[in-house]
Amino acid sequence: MRQSFSTQPALFAPQELFDHPALCALDEVEVLIDWDRIAALLPAGEEKVQTGRPGYPALTLFRALLLGLWYDLSDVKLSAQLARDLLFRKFCRLELDAGVPEASTLGRFRARLGDRLDGILAELVAMLEEARVILAEGRVAIVDATVVEAARSKLSTQDPEAGSAVKITVKGRRQAVWGWQAFVNADEDGFVRRVTVSPGNRAEVDSLCDLMVGDETALYADSAYIGPRTRALLAHHGMCDRVQKHGVRRRKLTPQERARNVEIGVTRGRVEAIFGHWKRHWGLRRTRFLGAAKMQALTSLAAIGWNLWKGAGFKARYG
């Protein structure tokens, strides 16, 4: 007589059911850092609601937001994926017979993270330094910005905090858009140390001070950052000037200056790789959110997700 099929609905870890490489895709991220140190910096998790449905721990919601970033999922799609994907449940510590956070729960938690994300990013960098994934000696600052289109166009009044910006299309053409500038301060290995966001019509040099950590030995940037404020900042922090130069109508660049620009550009390429990955794979060509606060949170989460993703790859390759 054929035996009937039965299940154990309360099993937690998918590997207790079967072993498959797909369920180990995030194991390198899992063991990279001490997640308890991240949990200590998070706001409280969702409280139990009156209907009796249990709340979710803050670390579960934070891990879920990282998954939404890495797999380019909206909050609605992320909630659905958490319900049906064993890898997602494993990473977020969601039992197989438990419910999953709704899109509104994920959105509220992202908003509550707020300024805490700066501290989380700094703590993550510190842990990667302790693990010798990031080298702390002789660190430089590679600064640049990329344009992220706003969720609404200029004709809409729903996103007035954004501004007009110019982006370069795939074909190399200049195109005016309504959006934001996402700034990054990365080290020479391409790990992000600090981020900030400004409206698209704000001068890039205006955000430079907000990007500095203070222990950098040199500043690498393009010619948009030339000026007295940059020179004052370099002098204040004792940093070497590795800002590219540009020619003017009556004075063209000398061969030595062009060679210097090329040399600086090689190092600056680290930050271009970050922006390229964010836009191609994580959907940051255009934001889904309205307002400067939500855009700042998205950019900070992208920086945290990038360091985790890159750090896991570094540790897997080099130990």
Residue with tokens 């449940």: 89
Domains of the chain: 14-113 (no CATH), 136-290 (3.30.420)
Q: How far apart are the first and last CA of the chain?
A: 53
CA distance linking residue 46 with residue 60, whole number of Å: 10
pLDDT tens, per residue, the chain with 319 residues: 444 434 444 445 544 556 788 888 999 999 999 999 999 999 976 655 445 556 789 999 999 999 999 999 999 999 999 999 999 999 999 888 788 999 999 999 999 998 899 999 999 999 999 988 888 777 899 999 999 998 876 656 677 888 888 877 766 778 888 899 999 999 999 999 999 999 988 989 999 999 999 899 999 999 889 889 999 999 999 999 999 988 777 788 888 989 999 999 999 989 999 999 999 999 999 999 989 999 999 999 999 999 999 999 988 887 7
Q: Coil, helix or strand for 138?
A: coil
What pTM did the predictor assign? Answer: 0.89
Q: Which residues on adjacent β-strands are paired with residue 20?
A: none
Q: Which helix (H) or strand (E) holds 242?
A: strand 240-243
Q: Which helix (H) or strand (E) holds 196?
A: strand 192-199
SS3 sequence of 164-216: EEEEECCCCCEEEEEEEEEEEEECCCCCEEEEEEEECCCCHHHHHHHHCCCCC
Neighbours of 267 (CB within 10 A): 14
Residue 221, phi then psi, degrees to nearest 5? -160, 165
Spatial contact of 214 and 225, defined as CB atoms under 8 Å apart: no
